[in-house]
Chain A
Amino acid sequence: EDQVTQSPEALRLQEGESSSLNCSYTVSGLRGLFWYRQDPGKGPEFLFTLYSAGEEKEKERLKATLTKKESFLHITAPKPEDSATYLCAVQTTGKLIFGQGTTLQVKP
């Protein structure tokens, strides 16, 4: 059965304290792995697409990496405005399967 698992469920960091979010997946026929950010009361905002193992993408303080079984979202020197829920999703034939998300809180 296709499945996406994110860990941890919640993460609290001090401003400037770097960390990583994990997304592990078991799917047949991976077409792409996507990272989204969701703020309260808003829809998910697209961040990155990764297609093959070894691929990396960066945007400001965020860096996403992909292996054959998991993806990491590294956040370097986070700021309070990085506080949000980060969602990982995998594209299989016909649909996106989402993980439950990691809620990140960055304290000043």
Chain B
Amino acid sequence: KAGVTQTPRYLIKTRGQQVTLSCSPISGHRSVSWYQQTPGQGLQFLFEYFSETQRNKGNFPGRFSGRQFSNSRSEMNVSTLELGDSALYLCASSTGGVDQPQHFGDGTRLSIL
């Protein structure tokens, strides 16, 4: 069974630009969550989508947004990039039950110059 696929794996942008990251969940999974991982803050929850609707949201500014398509694939967009947005962005999918484990992709490494 194929795992969670994230593209691209690496991305370099400059301040002020915007970026779109993509995530394909495990087949049959309807929930997709996004996390930001940095050495100082660890893994922090951005938002979760379930059946094309944002179900939960973390404490990130509105520059971070996402969406989910009817095939459960998800995209995350970050606008007006700042140096502090440099991080590993991880996507995780699950069946959608609140007590079900999330399965992670290998992330997109975003570097802001």
Contact = CB atoms under 8 A, between A and B. Distances in A.
A46 B102 contact: yes
Please classify how large the interface on chain B is, using the bins under 10, 10 to 19, 20 to 34, 35 or more. Answer: 20 to 34
A34 B42 contact: no
A75 to B, nearest CB: 20
Q: Chain A interface secondary structure, helix, strand, loop or mixed?
A: strand
Interface residues of A, number: 24
Contacts of B4: 43
Q: Chain B interface secondary structure, helix, strand, loop or mixed?
A: strand
Given A95-B56, A96-B45, A97-B45, A51 B104 contact: no
Contact of A94 (B56, B101, B107): B56
Given A41-B106, A95-B56, A95-B58, A49 B45 contact: no
B90 A95 contact: no
A46 B42 CA distance: 17
Contact of A101 (B35, B42, B55, B90): B42
Contacts of B103: 46
11 contacts: A32-B101, A34-B101, A41-B106, A43-B92, A43-B107, A44-B90, A87-B43, A95-B33, A95-B48, A95-B56, A96-B33
